[in-house]
Homo-oligomer: A and B are copies of this chain.
Amino acid sequence: MSESAGIGLLDELKRELSEIVDINRAINVLDWDQNTYMPPGGSTGRADSLATLQGILHARYTSAKLGELLNRAQDAVAGLDPDSDDFNLVRVAKRYYDRQVRIPEDLVSEIARTGALAYAVWVAARRNNDYASFAPWLQKNIDLARRLTDHIGYSEHRFDALVEEAEPGMTTASVRAIFSELRPQLVNLVQAIAPQVDTVDDSPLRRTFDEATQERLGREVSARFGYDYTRGRLDRTTHPFEITFGRDDVRITTRYDKNFLPMALMGTMHESGHGLYEQGIAPAITHTPLGHGVSHGVHESQSRLWENYVGRSLPFWQYFYPVVQDAFPGVLGDVDVRSFYRALNKVHPSLIRVEADEVTYGLHIMLRFEFEIGLLDGTISVKDAPEAWNAAMGDYLGITPSTDALGILQDVHWSGGFGGFQGYALGNIIAAQVWESVLKAHPDLPDQLRQGQFSTLLDWLHTNIYHHGRKFDPADLIQRATGAPLSSEPYMRYLRNKFGGIYTL
């Protein structure tokens, strides 16, 4: 094959893939709208549109034409630098094609339609603490996930088929191995802190904070981090999220509680972290299947890094606390920065995952990881799930929800499917490893945070992580960025060091 023929082929492949990206972005716009501004009446029609677009997307991604282009492109890029964009575009697109081609189009549409309908049911069920209304939809999603994993195939556990999608290169067993190592260490740390829980007073966070001011502060801090509002938005939702329609339109959402400051403020920092990742994708790959974050775990590492490693650090608050005090006149005048920092980092087993502290958070995730596996393999039935949830909360965290709204109904995820929760805990682990690497490269980073300077950090993340999109697989990316394979040691070092300073351990 001549070189010019090879170039023509890649152009044709890229054109086809760019249209697939266009369809995917359109689906994301419909999702975003559904979660922000869609009136209640819209849900049935939206389910239809999403199902049809998912069907079209799937048909395009599994077409004989694309399959042939990818096969020919593999030959065409075989001699290219394995670190080049083109080589990895073909590699990643081919792997996704091979996966998708096993899934029938009608199943894709059914999953999309069911998810859109189940979302509205979940919103009402959580509001009304009505698990019974959601149960049939949970069962539908389980049945669909079983059919899906049967089609995709797996070697050890059907859950592997879902883990591989969220965390390329990982399996149920490899996630379990990490969690098994981590769980006892986290439990030990929680237990060590337990007798001293009340030495930290978080009541200052539970005073009254004007919502409009909270929103202004959230916008200010996210903009200072580097989130670009000419290429993004901040809106309100029941369940906060980040979503991308390409690096130049990346949107985040949050929710407000006028009696709990961290809800929106830390939530906005969290979603900004996701947003910074997506806004930082290299322009050359944004309109390709490489043009978004590489895995759920690496994505979550960035939201956690900005939320916790920056946003719950003392240096950051030495910079930003006076701004917050000024913003709420008379509310925090009696609270000094160190007390505020300690309040933000109070460790106490609690019912709601998204409000959990850094130490107990991982336990919420491990519970869900095992719970999903149980729902999928039938060891937990939909009927018994609320009771099983409450029992598991006792096992993992020593507390029991008083209602299903505070228990099994709290997360949006199972209205849409399964297989993503492990990424939240992996994210914390990866964040710690990345944070150690940035600190090693820039030991004065805490001083910079104390000055409200975030550009050194953002530049490092851009160069080492954001820029690459999905070009390198997660394990490879982590090795390149940090010089070491994934390890939970930096995470436990970070937790012991930080919380050893807050509590007397």
Find out whether the CB atom of B37 lies under 8 angstroms from the CB atom of A49.
no
Find out whether the CB atom of A18 lies under 8 angstroms from the CB atom of B48.
yes
In Å, the complex CA distance between A55 and B60 comes to 13
Inter-chain contacts of A51 with B (CB < 8 A): 22
In Å, the complex CA distance between A238 and B29 comes to 21
Contact code string A42-53 (vs B, CB < 8 Å = 1, else 0): 101110110111
**CB nearest to A228 among chain B residues:** B41
State the main secondary structure of chain A at its contact with B.
helix
In Å, the complex CA distance between A116 and B303 comes to 32
Find out whether the CB atom of A39 lies under 8 angstroms from the CB atom of B287.
no
In Å, the complex CA distance between A41 and B41 comes to 30
Known: A29-B33, A41-B231. 17 other contacts (CB 8 A): A18-B48, A22-B48, A22-B51, A25-B45, A25-B48, A26-B26, A29-B30, A32-B33, A37-B233, A39-B229, A39-B232, A39-B249, A41-B249, A42-B245, A42-B248, A42-B249, A44-B248
Give the number of copies in the complex: 2
Inter-chain contacts of A245 with B (CB < 8 A): 42, 45-46, 49
- Asked if A79 is an interface residue, CB under 8 A from chain B, the answer is no
**CB nearest to A32 among chain B residues:** B33
For chain A, the count of residues having a C-beta within 8 Å of the partner chain is 40
Find out whether the CB atom of B248 lies under 8 angstroms from the CB atom of A45.
yes
In Å, the complex CA distance between A46 and B33 comes to 15
Inter-chain contacts of A11 with B (CB < 8 A): none
Inter-chain contacts of A30 with B (CB < 8 A): 26, 29
Find out whether the CB atom of A49 lies under 8 angstroms from the CB atom of B33.
no
Inter-chain contacts of A231 with B (CB < 8 A): 39-42
- Asked if A56 is an interface residue, CB under 8 A from chain B, the answer is yes
- Asked if A19 is an interface residue, CB under 8 A from chain B, the answer is yes
Most buried by B among A32, A42, A231, A233: A42
Q: Which of B40, B45, B246 contacts A246 (CB 8 A)?
A: B45
Q: Which of B25, B52, B55, B230 contacts A40 (CB 8 A)?
A: B230
A258-307 with Cβ < 8 A to chain B: 286-287
- Asked if A38 is an interface residue, CB under 8 A from chain B, the answer is yes
**Residues A39 and B246 in contact in the complex (CB < 8 Å), given A33-B33, A52-B23:** no
Inter-chain contacts of A52 with B (CB < 8 A): 19, 22-23, 26
A232-262 with Cβ < 8 A to chain B: 232-233, 235, 245-246, 248-249, 251
**CB nearest to A52 among chain B residues:** B22
Inter-chain contacts of A38 with B (CB < 8 A): 249
Which 3 residue pairs are nearest across A and B when measured between Cβ atoms? Answer: A42-B249, A41-B231, A22-B52
In Å, the complex CA distance between A40 and B32 comes to 17
- Could you list some 11 contacts between A and B, CB below 8 A? A23-B49, A23-B52, A26-B30, A29-B29, A37-B233, A37-B235, A39-B229, A39-B251, A41-B230, A42-B248, A48-B287
